[in-house]
Chains A and B, each alone.
Chain A
Amino acid sequence: MSTIASRLFPAPTSATARIVLAAIYAFSYVALDWISYFQPILKLGITPWNPQAGLTFAYLLWVGPRWGLVTAAAAFTAELLVRGAPANPLLLVMSSLWIAGCYAGAAAVLGAQVANRATLGLLPAVKFAAIAVLASLLVASGYVALFVAGHALPGAAAAGGVLRYWVGDVNGILMLTPLLLYLRQGGRGFAALSGRWPEVLAQLATLALFVWLLFGIDVSDDRLRFFYPLFVPVIWIAVRWGALGALVAALAIQLGIAIALHDAVTEAPLIDLQILMLSLELTGLLLGAVVTERASALHRLAAGEAELRAVLSAAPDAVITADPVGTLRTGNLAANQLFGMDSEVAAVSLHQLLPGLQLDTDNSRRTLTATRLDGGQFPADVAWVSLDPPAHPGWLLIVRDATERLRAQNEAQERDRVMARAMRFAVAGELASSLAHELNQPITALVSYLRASQIMAAAGSDADDRLAGTLTKASNEAIRAAQVLHRLRDFYQGSTSPSARADVLQCCASVVELLGNRPQKQGVQLSIESPVAVPAVQADRIQVEMVLHNLISNALDALSATEAGKVLVTVSKDSGRVLIGVHDSGTGVSEDALPQLFEPFNTTKPDGMGLGLAISRNLVRANGGDLLYRRSSRLGGACFEMQLDAAPRNTTSPQSGEA
Chain B
Amino acid sequence: MQPTVYFVDDDAAVRDAIALLLSLKGFLSQVFSSAETFLETYRPEYRGCLLTDLRMPGMSGLDLQRTLLQRGISLPVVLLTAHGDVATTRAAMKSGAYDFLEKPVDDEVLVDVLRSAIAHDAERHSNVVEVARTTERLERLTPRERDVVKLLAEGLQNREIAERLGISPRTVEVYKARLMDKLDCRNLADVLRLMSRVEP
Do these two chains really belong together in a complex?
A: yes
Q: Tell me the A residues contacting B by CB distance below 8 Å.
A: 433, 436-437, 440-449, 451-452, 455-456, 478-479, 482, 485-486, 489-490, 493, 621
Establish whether residues A448 and B83, one from each chain, have CB atoms under 8 Å apart when the complex forms: no
| Distance between A620 CB and nearest chain B CB, rounded to angstroms | 13
Contact of B84 among A445, A455, A489 (CB under 8 A): A489
Contacts of B24 in A (CB 8 A): 452, 455-456
Alpha-carbon separation in the docked complex, A445 to B13 (Å): 6
**Leading 3 A-B pairs by shortest Cβ distance:** A448-B17, A445-B13, A447-B104
Contacts of B21 in A (CB 8 A): 448, 451-452, 455
Within 8 Å of chain A (Cβ to Cβ): is B107? Answer: yes
Establish whether residues A442 and B83, one from each chain, have CB atoms under 8 Å apart when the complex forms: no
Establish whether residues B17 and A440, one from each chain, have CB atoms under 8 Å apart when the complex forms: no
| Distance between B176 CB and nearest chain A CB, rounded to angstroms | 59
Which residue of chain A has the shortest Cβ distance to B13 in the bound complex? A445
B13-35 vs A: 1/0 string, CB under 8 Å?
Answer: 11011101100110000000000
Establish whether residues B84 and A490, one from each chain, have CB atoms under 8 Å apart when the complex forms: yes
Establish whether residues A445 and B105, one from each chain, have CB atoms under 8 Å apart when the complex forms: no
Establish whether residues B82 and A445, one from each chain, have CB atoms under 8 Å apart when the complex forms: no
Establish whether residues A444 and B104, one from each chain, have CB atoms under 8 Å apart when the complex forms: yes
Q: Tell me the B residues contacting A by CB distance below 8 Å.
A: 11, 13-14, 16-18, 20-21, 24-25, 55, 82-84, 87, 103-105, 107
Establish whether residues B17 and A443, one from each chain, have CB atoms under 8 Å apart when the complex forms: no
21 examples of A-B residue contacts, CB within 8 angstroms: A433-B84, A436-B84, A437-B55, A437-B82, A440-B83, A441-B13, A441-B14, A441-B103, A443-B104, A444-B18, A444-B104, A445-B17, A445-B18, A447-B17, A449-B17, A449-B20, A478-B104, A479-B104, A485-B83, A486-B84, A489-B83
Contacts of B82 in A (CB 8 A): 436-437, 440
Given A440-B103, A455-B24, A456-B24, verify A448-B14 contact (CB < 8 Å): yes
Alpha-carbon separation in the docked complex, A456 to B107 (Å): 14
Contacts of B55 in A (CB 8 A): 437
Establish whether residues A448 and B84, one from each chain, have CB atoms under 8 Å apart when the complex forms: no
Contacts of B17 in A (CB 8 A): 444-449, 452
Establish whether residues B20 and A441, one from each chain, have CB atoms under 8 Å apart when the complex forms: no
Alpha-carbon separation in the docked complex, A213 to B87 (Å): 119
Establish whether residues A448 and B11, one from each chain, have CB atoms under 8 Å apart when the complex forms: no
Q: Which of A437, A449, A451 has the largest count of B CB atoms less than 10 A from its CB? A: A451
Establish whether residues B13 and A452, one from each chain, have CB atoms under 8 Å apart when the complex forms: no
Given A452-B20, A452-B21, A456-B24, verify A447-B105 contact (CB < 8 Å): yes
Alpha-carbon separation in the docked complex, A442 to B11 (Å): 9
| Distance between A270 CB and nearest chain B CB, rounded to angstroms | 118
Other than the given A436-B83, A449-B17, 10 more pairs (CB < 8 A) read A436-B82, A442-B13, A447-B105, A448-B104, A448-B105, A449-B20, A455-B25, A486-B83, A493-B84, A621-B87
